[in-house]
Amino acid sequence: MKPTHIEHLGIAVRNLEESIRYFEDVLGLECYNIEEVKDQKVRTAFFKVGETKLELLESTDPEGPIGKFVEKKGEGIHHIAFAVEDTKAALENAEKKGVQLIDKAPRKGAENLNIGFLHPKSTHGVLTEFCCK
């Protein structure tokens, strides 16, 4: 049940293009994919840092989850995603241990991964995602 690695860090930004420029020009990373995830009301941009990715999230709707997050807290780290072998099993295991789930069952996220979120109230304030291929 142990995660194999940190799959990605989710970072909420106000402006995707401006943020991409920072990560490319200053950190020398390369954006390899931009994708809209309609049901999450976000546009995402991906960078690889070794085995781990950075996922920049720009809201497409002020009422969406990232829109509300940026309004309340500003830009910054939004969630941490752990790579697991089986998202469904990882969610069930967390629930069995008393963790509040946001997703009772896996759903499709960016890059066609099977993802599921744990509620930050149960995870010491860190919005936590499990994902698998």
Binding site for Zn ion (CB under 5 A): 10, 81, 129
The minimum distance between CB 7 and Zn ion, in angstroms, equals 8
First to last CA, the chain: 15
Minimum CB distance to Zn ion smaller for 25 or for 73: 73
Report the residue number, 70 or 81, with the smaller CB distance to Zn ion: 81
Smallest distance from the beta carbon of 109 to Zn ion, in angstroms?
A: 6
Q: Which is nearer to Zn ion, 114 or 122 (CB)?
A: 114
Structure tokens at 48: 């690889």
User: What CA–CA distance (Å, rounded) separates 133 from 125?
Assistant: 26
* Distance from C-alpha of 88 to C-alpha of 94, rounded to nearest angstrom: 10
Query: What single string gives the DSSP state of each residue in 69-93?
Result: HHHHH-SEEEEEEEE-S-HHHHHHH
Q: How far is the CB of 80 from Zn ion (least distance, A)?
A: 8
Q: Looking at beta carbons, which residue is closest to Zn ion?
A: 10
